[in-house]
Amino acid sequence: MNSAEREAWYRYQHEKYGIPVEHLRREFEEELSGKNPMDAPLEIPDKMEVVFKYSYGGQSRFFRELRENKALYGAQCPECGKVFCPPRSHCHTCYQPTQWKKLVGTGTVEACTVQHYTTSSFIKKVPFVCAYVKLDGTDSLLMTNMEVDDVAKVKVGTKVKAVYRELRLGAITDVYFKPLD
């Protein structure tokens, strides 16, 4: 490939995959300069992508309450009385439809750890606390990452409260938890 062809290749891949041109150049310069033998393994950029207009189905109210009313809801089984959060439309024990129950938004850390390394999507946030929280009035565990200045502040038994984001998207991340102090 001559230099004009290489630049066109970088531009096309950048537009298709959103990879900065300097990153592409760093990775593929040698290959595109024709320095590799014909039989050497050939790598190319690629991406698997699907776009959604996803329905929350029977859990829709949970996310609408979160987005519209800054409120957390659990789902209670009318038969055994268990309250689920994450909510579910049916109790898995009694097979009865659950009923919505407003929660106060406080809870207790049941298990926690600190992540110092993680996935591409979150790696800029480390270190952060990753915890299971039992919300007051519920009988299940909600996975959350906690925003705290000092990760050592969060321990098993720490009382936490829900904080709602300014821009709420209709996702579980519209709410996060802080130690109640």
What span, in angstroms and rounded, lies between the C-alpha atoms of 179 and 146?
9
Q: Which of 17, 79, 97, 143 binds Zn ion (CB under 5 A)?
A: 79
Are residues 98 and 124 in contact, defined by beta-carbon separation less than 8 angstroms? no
SS3 150: coil
Are residues 79 and 49 in contact, defined by beta-carbon separation less than 8 angstroms? no
**75-104 mask for other proteins (x: CB under 8 A)?**
---------x-x-----x------------
**Region of 4-12, 46-54, 73-81, 171-179 interacting with Zn ion (CB under 5 A):** 73-81
E strand segments, 40-125: 73-76, 83-84, 99-102, 106-115
Q: For the CB of residue 45, give the shortest distance to other proteins in the complex, in Å.
A: 8
Q: Does 119 bind other proteins (CB under 8 A)?
A: yes
Place of tokens 């593929």: 28
**Region of 43-51, 74-82, 143-151, 168-176 interacting with Zn ion (CB under 5 A):** 74-82
What is the 8-class DSSP label of residue 98?
P
Q: For the CB of residue 175, give the shortest distance to other proteins in the complex, in Å.
A: 11
Identity of the residue, 36 or 96, whose beta carbon is nearer to Zn ion in the bound complex = 96
Q: Which of 24, 72, 75, 77 binds Zn ion (CB under 5 A)?
A: 77
What span, in angstroms and rounded, lies between the C-alpha atoms of 43 and 129?
36
Q: Which residues would be at the binding site for Zn ion (CB under 5 A)?
A: 77, 79-80, 91, 93-94
